Amino acid sequence: MNIKGLKPLGDRVLIKPIYEEEKTKGGILLPDTVSKEKPQEGEVLAVGPGATNKEGKIIPMTVKVGDRVVYARYSGTEIKGEKEDEEYLIISEKDILAVFEK
């Protein structure tokens, strides 16, 4: 799937998960074939306009494109990119737990 031009709706956010290299306590790098846990960090690639309240007004998003965020581990919908190893998530803004300050 080509994610260029993909615009999330409502309070949804498009995130590229960031996979950290895993090391043992002794400093040995573990290969990708070793079972890895899902990442909880990612970079925001696109944001929707925001949620709509009962009066019909849009509540602006608190995250923006380029933010590095921490999100709930099993949240969102996974999307595969054009390349086999590309993975993306579309999650609700409420599932974002924190934003890294720059």
pLDDT for res 17? 92
Domain of 90, CATH number, reads: 2.30.33.40
Q: Is residue 30 part of a domain?
A: no
Arithmetic mean of pLDDT over the chain: 86
Residue 73: pLDDT band with limits 50, 70, 90: confident
18-49, pLDDT tens digit by residue? 876 666 667 676 665 554 566 799 999 999 99
Does residue 77 lie within any of the structural domains?
yes
Whether residue 62 is contained in a domain is answered as yes
User: For position 19, what pLDDT does the model report?
Assistant: 77
How many distinct structural domains can be found in the chain? 1
Q: pTM, whole model, 2 decimals?
A: 0.80
The answer to whether residue 29 is domain-embedded is no
In-domain check, residue 92 = yes
Residue 58 lies in a domain: yes
Domain holding 92, by residue range, is: 12-18+38-99
Give a yes or no: residue 63 inside a domain: yes
Sequence-distant (≥ 6) Cβ neighbours of residue 79 within 8 angstroms: 1, 3, 87, 88, 89, 90
Is position 1 within any domain?
no
